[in-house]
Amino acid sequence: MAVTLQGLPGADTGDLTLESFQFWGEALKVRKVQAQYEVLASDAKVHDRSIDEEMKAQGKMDFTQFRHDCPQFGLLCSPMDFAELGSGSVLYFFLLRFMILLLLLFLCLQIAVMVKYKEQDWTGGWQWHDWSEGWSLNNEPCECIGINNGQTGPADIPDYGTSCGAWDIDWCVQGHAAKPGQWCCQAWCYADQNCPAARETARPSMSNRHYNGLVRATTECEQDAAVEARCTGVFAADVLFDEAGVTDSEDGWNAFWFISVSPGALGPDQCDNVALPILYFCCVVLMVVLCIVMHQVLIVADKKLDSNSTLPNDFAIMASGLPSTATDETAIAEFFEKHAVRGKTTEIVKVVIGWDFPEFRAKLNKAREIAAQISRLDPDDPRIKELTVEQQLIFKELGTTTDTGKGLKSSGIVVVTFRFQQDLRACLQRWTSFYALWFYRDVQDVGFLPVGNGLRWGSKLPRFPVGDPPRAVNLVRVERAANPGDINWQELGVPMQERYKLAAKTNGLMFVVTLISFFCIWGLYRLQGTIEGSSVQYLSFLPSFGVMITNAVCTFASKSFGVWEVHETWTSQQFSQAVKMSVAMCVNTAGVIWFSEARPEEWYDDGGLINQVFYLLAINCLIPPVLILLDIGFCIKRCRRRNLTQEKIDEWNKKIKAGEAREVTAKIRAYMKFYEPSELNNPRRYAMALKQFICCSIYMPVLPVTTVIGIVGLILQYAADKYMLLRCYQRPARPQNAILARYTLTFVRCVGPVGISVAFYVFLSPSWKQKSQVLFWFLVSMAVGAGSAMLPVSFLRTVLGIRLSERWASARITDEESYDYYKAQYMWSRDQKYHKDHFLYKKLREDKNPEFLTLGSGSAVKSEDVKEGYGAMTSTAASDVADGARSGRLVLKGGLVAGDELEPSAVSEKTAPPAPLPIPVPDPIETSLLSVSHDDLGESTEPSEPVAAILVPDSMEGSWEFETKSGFVPCNDDCQSYIERMYMRYLREGTRSRINVRTKVGHKDITISLDFERMTQRGPDAKIRTIRRVPWS
């Protein structure tokens, strides 16, 4: 669609002002448009006007003013309240809540751990700890080493301390000890200096002590009671060995103040409490189980959000693996009619082929590059004219192409639309099962289990035929199709080999960027380590800010590299960008710091690992959400906006009034872009959330308070993103779907449990006396995490028994209109249909590719028709895609398009379905029978039988009531007159039988759907209830 200046006040009459641009920018922000537009459309039908006429009758000059005047969402509203932005916008906030909940549960579980840590004070041994023995199963650091390194003691005994013995008793008796005590009569030997020298609180004299570069160890020696009995009098005092040569710590080593609530408080090789690794195993299990439950929550919430709308992908699959010669829509439809569902012939409404057009892709990419260059230039830059001419030449080349379409081939990817939703679900159940994906086989039930368990594989799945005579050759892969607008039709035909090359190239470049960032941050840590003195505490901020900068660079690189890749849908491209950002951010935030402080003795030092982790996560979790509020991108465009003056606008007004608007249109469009609010950056916000959650989860075994940092950081991100979405960002051009949220949750489920398992093994083992205790629970946790990552989530949901909740969520599909594509198609706008979304199909004549499909009319498009108009269609499509300006049109929830450039009257007419088939009318009945008696109605969720429509006199009026558990209750006064008016119109003129009504329940606004044909209503809970009309006397 060519972009015009539609929506900019004064653009048509030459009365532009600075306020016109500001007004236009404000109108693009998020507002409650859906309900207001539905009311406007209903009023237009009641008054027999077009939407445009009704809008002007209500004092709105155009759709831009209509959007501007719509109310804003409340900042404290539930995410469910802005469901009109799409389920993806809602589920993102659900996902943030889930991460906050998980961290909160981790914090609660670790309270007991931190209490245990607080009870100990064995930190002094870390400065002598041998990191190479931190994970050794055979580590016995306090064994006698058999040497004394020349330390012969005060009595000059050559074998002094080489084996267990009371070496000091004679020397003490002679009165040479400065602080005599029981230690004089105790057996000891020299051990390696990494032997823990913790102070024994019960018997201080039995404490190991660092003495002359070794450890005077008593814990590994058996004491002789007879020898100890010789220590009487002054030698009976139970005091520490504290003679000359004893040291408690090395010079310059100070513990970080948070060490008291970390494993560092246990000291090295001291702890033997198996409950602590079991607790972290519980954290892993908790994460796995809640991730599976959250998958189900997302599915149910997505269905609930769509409960009052039916979307095109409720009927469509995307099939891949077909041969390049598969260009006959009829043959493809016949294959799926026969094989989509086992043992049944299904009805196929339409097949849309993803055509392969390499020449078009190359020219389109060139046009996009030119458009990007133009957007970076000042609107008055003379180079814009040269680039625009170059861009127009590309469009002209495509438009004059006559022979390229002759070699047009199929990409092997098609979108197949079924007539009935139950056929779609049955098809997906057959073709997307575990056995279908891994072994290309059908599934069968195990007899003694409930129906539909699908635990046994069956015969081979059908292959698509090739050749003449046809031979079953190609393996077909099936998945649910994305909605129109999300499919990247231009890139479907890219060969897999080229896709792999591009993926390898972009991921390789991302690896290089991440590696460079890694060593830059590592260099900052090394620089910090070379500076000594009391300022080391404050230098912890230096690497933290370095991480923020490198994360910003990685974010930019991820977004750029993601665009270079080939993706079948725009959502999968966003997820690819989000994964690259997440991995790079986690490496920069969590990986470099561990690499820099890898040895356990460096973990607990002041300026060591936990010191760096605390400040790094605090800065990188708490500051980025605040930066979101600054909206840096929009601030940068402020410099460009300053160049727009009223004098410049007045010159444009003169040209517009003189009929020379074409000369200034490009400049006006450029400045319109500068007034556009920032767009919601989905990959970045998902990556930020993943970074905070993963990093805080990984480091919580060594520093449990990181969960607090993560909770606060995610709460700030939740608040900042919600505020920016509802007050500052522009409304998404299309409703966001739930796929990105599901992908992100899958990433958490696969990475989180494994990361926590590795982390608690790495960080707890150096503190454990029996390393095998930690190793065992690490292996069990890894098994749980790996199993969660590898097993299909559908299988895991079945095992937990939570898939039953889908039955409740599916209760919304209870009427034929939602089931049948031929009826549901009238709910959607033109470009929300697959055969009108594909840029080659949408340009075909209406007689060859009608918007509304009818049963038995033959909807297949011949390949010759596509090839014939290939040049003109690709030229127009390239012009549409390369032009990055934003039009005034808006796709609403359910596929309705508001503010389209088509005539509003035409839109109103085209969305009205044909007259329904005649319904047999029973014998004449009194008008009072229009009301349904509730005496025979219970609390069933099934709709009652349809009530036949009959003619009603103009003078007749009535009150509307709906069924509840206690009987029929009148509808609210705020919607009585509207329902009556629409009902009378339905009876007289045969308009649509279903309407949506906004009303209040308590203090909450809700939308209910009324069906006059069946005399039923459906509310937000998706339950079907009977309604009735009580005539007034």
Per-domain residue ranges of the chain: 88-114+276-308+488-631+678-803, 128-256, 312-355+408-482+804-838, 927-1031
Q: Characterize 792-816 residue by residue with b for buried, 16 or more Cβ atoms within 10 angstroms of its Cβ, and e for exposed.
A: ebbebbbeeebeebeeebebbbbbe
pLDDT band at 1 (very low <50, low <70, confident <90, very high): very low
pLDDT at 486 over 60: yes
Above 60 in pLDDT, residue 936?
A: no
Give the up-direction half-sphere exposure of residue 315: CA atoms within 13 A in the CB hemisphere: 26
Q: Averaged over 515-537, what is the pLDDT?
A: 72
Question: How much is the pLDDT for 176?
Answer: 80
What pLDDT is recorded for position 326?
A: 87
- Asked if 747 and 691 touch (Cβ cutoff 8 Å), the reply is no
Under the banding of pLDDT at 50, 70 and 90, the label for residue 927 is very low
Q: Which residue, 713, 265, 317, is CA-closest to 478?
A: 317
User: pLDDT higher for 755 or 391?
Assistant: 755
Q: What would the mean pLDDT of 176-188 be, rounded to a whole number?
A: 87
Kindly state the percentage of the chain with pLDDT values over 70: 79
Show the CA angle centred on residue 195, arms to residues 194 and 196, nearest 5°.
105
Tokens of 248: 């408690």
- Is the per-residue pLDDT at 848 higher than 70? yes
627, 684 Cβ separation under 8 angstroms: no
Position 505 pLDDT exceeds 70:
yes
Q: pLDDT tens digits, residue range 332-361?
A: 999 999 999 988 899 999 999 988 777 666
Q: Which CATH number fits domain 312-355+408-482+804-838: 3.30.70.2470, 3.40.30.10, 3.30.70.330, 3.10.20.90?
A: 3.30.70.330
Q: Which residue has the higher pLDDT, 678 or 272?
A: 678
pLDDT single digits (tens) 827-841 = 777 778 898 888 778
DSSP string covering 2-15, please? ----TTSTTTTTT-
Residue 396 CB coordination number (10 Å)? 11
Pairing of strands 1016-1018, 897-898: unpaired
Domains 312-355+408-482+804-838 and 927-1031 share a fold: no
Give the residue among 529, 541, 579, 535 at the shortest CA–CA distance from 558: 579
| CA torsion, ordered 1000, 1006, 1011, 1016, to nearest 10 deg | -70
- Which of the two residues, 664 and 734, has the higher pLDDT score? 664
Point out the least confidently predicted range of 81-95, 723-737, 816-830. 816-830
Average pLDDT over residues 109-127: 76
| Collapsed DSSP state (helix, strand, coil) of residue 615 | helix
Model confidence band, residue 751 (pLDDT cutoffs 50, 70, 90) = very high
Model confidence pLDDT, tens digit, residues 247-264: 766 544 445 556 667 787
Specify the range with the lowest mean pLDDT, choosing from 552-556, 560-564, 1028-1032: 1028-1032
**Mean pLDDT, rounded, for 372-391:** 76
Confidence class of residue 153 from pLDDT cuts 50, 70 and 90?
confident
Q: Distance from CA of residue 729 to its chain's centroid?
A: 18
Residue 351 corresponds to which amino acid?
A: V
Note the pLDDT tens digit of each residue in 219-238.
888 888 888 888 887 788 88
The average pLDDT across 135-163 equals: 82
Pairwise CA distance, residues 991 & 233, whole Å: 109
- Residues 532-550 have a mean pLDDT of 66
Token output for 654: 């003169």
pLDDT at residue 563 in the model: 81
**Range of weakest confidence among 199-203, 247-251, 322-326, 472-476:** 247-251
Binned at pLDDT 50, 70 and 90, residue 125 comes out as: low
**How far is the C-alpha of 481 from the C-alpha of 314, rounded, in Å?**
9
Q: Where are the alpha helices (DSSP H) in 400-495?
A: 421-431, 434-439
Architecture of domain 927-1031: 2-Layer Sandwich (3.30)
What is the pLDDT at residue 883? 53
> Rounded mean pLDDT of 900-911?
36
Phi, psi of 390 (to 5 degrees): -60, -40
* pLDDT score for 340: 93
Quick one: average pLDDT of 469-495? 85
Largest alpha-carbon pair distance within the chain?
127
- Give the chain's radius of gyration (CA, Å): 36
What's residue 940's pLDDT? 35
Separation of alpha carbons 703 and 764, rounded Å: 11
From the CB of residue 660, how many other CB atoms can be counted at a distance below 10 Å? Answer: 12
Pair of tokens at residue 908: 């109103």
Does residue 806 register a pLDDT over 90? no
When the pLDDT of each residue in the chain is averaged and rounded to a whole number, the result is: 78
* Cα–Cα dist 332/610, whole Å: 61
Residue 813 pLDDT more than 70?
Answer: no
Asked if residues 522 and 595 have their Cβ atoms less than 8 Å apart, the reply is: yes
pLDDT band, residue 698 (cuts 50/70/90): very high
Report whether 773 contacts 286 (CB < 8 A): no
SS3 791: coil
Band of residue 878 on the pLDDT scale cut at 50, 70, 90: low
Peptide bond into 943 cis (omega under 30): no
**Confidence band of 280 (pLDDT split at 50, 70, 90):** very high
- Residue 926: its pLDDT value, please? 32
Please name the residue that has the structure tokens 């060591």: 608
Instruction: Please name which of 796, 861, 852 lies closest in space to residue 829, comparing C-alpha atoms.
Output: 852
pLDDT at position 91 is: 92
Q: What backbone phi and psi angles, to 5 degrees, belong to 141?
A: -70, -20
Residue 572, pLDDT score: 85
Average of pLDDT values for 183-202? 82
Confidence of residue 915 (pLDDT cuts 50, 70, 90): very low
- Given this model, what pLDDT does residue 410 score? 83
How many secondary structure helices (H) and strands (E) does the chain include? 35, 20
- Average pLDDT over every residue of 719-724: 95
- What phi and psi, each to the nearest 5 degrees, are found at residue 1026? -80, 145
Q: How confident is the model at residue 499 (pLDDT cuts 50, 70, 90)?
A: confident
